[in-house]
């Protein structure tokens, strides 16, 4: 009996492996560019138009309050930092630092649960520092942002089992009144 070498099976297996590895290794990239001068939100139309026109941009977010434009690129796209800076300039603004992050880093950044606290009683930058420092001392806490104007503190907690009421207690111990925001 003639033994047939299973070329077809091997080829099919290789193809499947290739597809799986491509999917697993797919590294969607993100460019975050600081846009200086972005103080009039109704001026941002041209910025949005110019940045969206860059090849490979799948999604664009303009975070006015942070002065940032976040460009999400397709897997295969090559990010040209000079081109991004040029487009920001053409839109009438001044480009600042451009940070490139991969999807893996993105995943690490966003791992965990985002938590928001409404805090009453903050009246100055010193209060903001105290709240920020207190939250940063909690082991699971990352990416703390405290807004004096809105009285909101947002951060990521990487421990899903952590008792959230402890955050409230931590802030209340400083003499403020905090409550968990339902999001």
Partner 1 sequence: MRKAVLQYAAGPLIIFASVMNLLAQGPPINTDTPIMLGLEGSGIRAFAKFVRKATLLQDGKEIADALDRDVTVRITPLAVPYNLLSDRFQVGVVIPFMNIDLDSRLQDISSTGIGDVSIFAKYLLYQHDRKLETFRVGVKATIKLPSGDENTSPALGTGSTDYAFSMVAGWLKNRVGVYWEGIYSQNTSHGQTDFGNSFAYNLAFGYRLLPTVYETYPSPQLNGFLEINGTTAGRNKVNGEEIADSGGTTVFLSPGLQYVGGRRWLIEASFQYPAINEPNGTQLATDWTVSVGTRILIF
Please give the Cα distance from 175 to 166 (Å, whole number). Answer: 15
Q: Is 45 in the site for partner 1 (CB under 8 A)?
A: yes
Asked if 32 is part of the footprint of partner 1 (rule: CB under 8 A), the reply reads no
Q: Distance between CA atoms of 77 and 165, rounded to whole angstroms?
A: 44
* Whole-number Å distance between alpha carbons of 126 and 128: 5
Give the residue with the Cβ less far from partner 1, 150 or 177. Answer: 150
With CB under 8 A as the contact rule, the residue among 27, 147, 173, 181 that binds partner 1 is 147
Each residue 77-96 as x (binds partner 1 by CB under 8 A) or -, in order, gives: -------------xxxxx-x
Residue 117 forms beta bridges with which residues?
A: 153, 180
Q: How many residues line the site for partner 1 (CB under 8 A)?
A: 29
Q: How far is CA 113 from the centre of its chain?
A: 13
Task: Give the position of tokens 């905090």.
Answer: 178
Report if residue 150 touches partner 1, rule: CB under 8 A: yes
Asked if 167 interacts with partner 1 (CB under 8 A), we say: no
58 binds partner 1 (CB under 8 A): no
């Amino acid at each position: 009996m003639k033994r047939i070498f299973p070329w077809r099976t091997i080829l099919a297996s290789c193809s499947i492996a290739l597809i799986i590895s491509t999917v697993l290794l797919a590294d969607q990239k993100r460019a975050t560019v600081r846009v200086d001068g972005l103080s009039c939100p109704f001026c941002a139309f041209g910025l949005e138009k110019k940045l969206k026109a860059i090849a490979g941009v799948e999604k664009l977010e303009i975070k006015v309050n942070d002065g940032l434009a976040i460009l999400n690129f397709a897997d295969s796209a090559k990010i040209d930092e000079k081109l991004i800076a040029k487009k920001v300039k053409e839109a009438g603004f001044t480009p600042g630092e451009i940070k490139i992050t991969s999807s893996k880093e993105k995943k690490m950044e966003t791992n965990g649960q985002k938590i928001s606290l409404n805090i009453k009683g903050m009246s100055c930058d010193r209060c903001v520092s105290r709240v920020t420092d207190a939250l940063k001392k909690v082991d699971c806490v990352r990416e703390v942002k405290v807004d004096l104007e809105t009285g909101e503190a947002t951060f990521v907690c990487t421990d899903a089992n952590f008792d959230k009421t402890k955050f409230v207690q931590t802030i209340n111990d400083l003499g403020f009144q905090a409550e968990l925001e339902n999001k």
